Copies of this chain bind each other. A is one copy, B any other.
Amino acid sequence: MTDHPGPEHFHVYDTTLRDGAQQEGLRLSIADKLRIAANLDELGVTFIEGGWPGANPKDTNFFEAMRRGELTLKNSTLTAFGFTRRVGRRAADDPMIAAVRDSGASVACLVAKSHDQHVERALRASLQENLAMVADSVEHLVAEGQRVFLDAEHFFDGYRANREYALEVVRTAAEAGAEVVVLCDTNGGMLPSWMHDIVGDTAEIGVDLGIHCHNDSGCAVANTLAAVEGGAMHVQGTINGYGERTGNADLLQVVANLELKFGWSVLADGALAEATRISHAIAAITNVPGSPRQPYVGSSAFTHKAGLHASAIRVDPNLYQHIDPAVVGNDMRTLVSDMAGRANIQLKGEELGFDISDRELAARITDTVKERESRGYSYEAADASFELLLRNELGELAEPFTVHAWQVHTDYGDGRTSTGASVRLSAKGAEQEYRGEGNGPVNALDEALRRALLPAYPQVADYQLTDYRVRILDQGHGTDASVRVLIDTDDGERSWTTVGVGENVVEASWEALSDAYLYGLIAR
């Protein structure tokens, strides 16, 4: 690490909008891309790769939208991805090169093959022609006034197969004027110690090196850091590790490690504290739920379960966490579990902004929690329900609606199944009864409840049930046993989880569902 140029001359290069969008099931509209770019700019990444102009209308239109000024970047520089020119064509005559050149992005990132087998068998070109494609494409765009980065595809596998040729591609790009040559572990199979050695060897060429990793061996973040230790000064990745197969290196994890473990400042000042919020905001745009276990930004990333630790955590939280969660905008959640003592409950209450320093009050709440957890409630997974319980115990639980009756039925006959529900309730002095249809009882009840609440509370139109989980509590009793239902709800800004328990899965679901609406309506 000692030979590294260090953070003064360092690029954080985001490719969420291009390589991240390769993820199975992930589809981004132009509006989505603009919203993600705005978040990336706020984070202050050095470069935002907007897509591949000319490859598809969506990417082409995104660059047009950026040119029209639909979004103005304050911190980041837009880059356009493209391929080196086609075999046997001049760069100046290649329409795909022209699309990159005319994209309006001041930086082009061109991908070139650097693995001899890929050149000969996939590209079906000679090794010499591939070098000419690199030189010609880079020289052309540089001459036209663009800054050029070169992505050396399959570089590491290529290096292991034919070191000389892989290095020759890097050298050719550097001599043609590429500002950075990005070494790509395209198949994602590298390990950190290999990575470190190969990058170190390649650094001898003297051009600035970048690194682009995929997570196929589960080491994308570590591989990226190993490449930086080997001399790379440009890191590519995607938010939340989106990408094809196992995904790309998670850029927030890479950056958090660089800032907090290496002690380098590589983002806009203060931006790291927005990491959790930006990760979640982008997850809301992609509609790919993040893992609670996601390092740094996951909802469980700083959550302690063992009741054992709670008193020790009060001695000094830093004994039990690798960093202060606030520096990445996360926070230390304490789980209220059946093992929890009063200390845990008090910590949790403080986190939610309630004063339960009073010992007697805290003891009473602890008893209530223990009693309910013994019946199967799990507040560790349901913060919103815990807050409702707390407000109820404190006498601060408002009642924005009162449910009088509901019913739900499913009928099968003649090969068809149908489900319907109805809900009767009072809200703001008016009684409402509405019906709902759905793919299942909870869906139908959700529909009916939402319709019944809408006249009094139009904001419920934004509430979306994003997950629904059912768990049998006592095995050995089957459908006769008591069940726990967890419902996740999102209103575009916040997301919360509620729990319901009962022997009747529909009744337990109703509890979690109606509490989801109640929490949405009363909580800050």
Contact = CB atoms under 8 A, between A and B. Distances in A.
A315 B121 contact: yes
Interface string A86-124: 000000000000000000000000000001011001100
Nearest to A191: B261
A476 B288 contact: yes
Contacts of A378: 25, 27
Interface string A310-336: 001001100111110000000000010
A371 interface: no
A409 B27 CA distance: 32
A287 B22 contact: no
Chain A residues touching B, majority SS? mixed
Contact of A507 (B29, B298, B440): B440
A36 to B, nearest CB: 14
Given A413-B405, A470-B469, A301 B483 contact: no
A459 interface: no
Contact of A408 (B29, B322, B410, B466): B410
Contacts of A1: 193
B298 A246 contact: yes
B305 A24 contact: yes
Interface string A113-137: 0010110011000000000000000
Interface residues of A, number: 122
Contact of A504 (B323, B419, B488): B419
B25 A380 contact: yes
Interface in A243-293: 243-247, 250, 253, 256-257, 261, 287-289, 291-293
B407 A225 contact: no
Interface in A472-488: 472, 475-481, 483, 486-488
Interface stretch (A41-49, A141-149, A212-220, A359-367): A212-220
